[in-house]
Structure 1
Amino acid sequence: MEPKAAPPAQDAWFRPVGDSEILMAVGATLTVEVRAQVPVDAPAGSTTLKLRAVDEAEPERLTDGPRASSASARSRSLSARSTDV
């Protein structure tokens, strides 16, 4: 699982909790907890986040999950959940 943010410069703010490599069956639904670490100097605003699943056997094959929006505040850790990846 790879967190993808909009704007892309914020990708590094997000990481899945636990193992980022998860075995999934085709068509499976999964809940993944994602943690955000917002830099102290980040301006207040909002971010759109989605999780991207990468096929280990075919790395060019990508599947994007639904988008989630959240407000960001300076110097705070935020926690978000996304389903149906």
Structure 2
Amino acid sequence: MFSLKVQTKRLKAMQIDTQNIDHLGLVAGMCEEIGLVDLIDQAVGSQAKNKHLTYGQAVKCMILNRLGFVSRTLYRYSEYFEDKLIDHL
């Protein structure tokens, strides 16, 4: 006969927030895998100091926006990425 002793610990209640990134996580992962952002930044060179994104990051955003199957114009990127978990993209 086998004896099994199981010890349990009380887990603290956690609040978990989730966000849907759909297929964009795969696309963003592939961009990272091939080093797309760095390739573009190296090819284009420097940009103005007052910009928040590099050219490579801007191109990656454009790719994600177009593959997101939305028909929004380029000037509405902030609205498109508003509900996306951009830290993981």
Q: What TM-score results when the alignment is normalised by the length of structure 2? A: 0.21
User: Relative to total residues, which structure has the larger helix share, 1 or 2?
Assistant: 2
User: Relative to total residues, which structure has the larger strand share, 1 or 2?
Assistant: 1
| Bigger radius of gyration among the two | 2
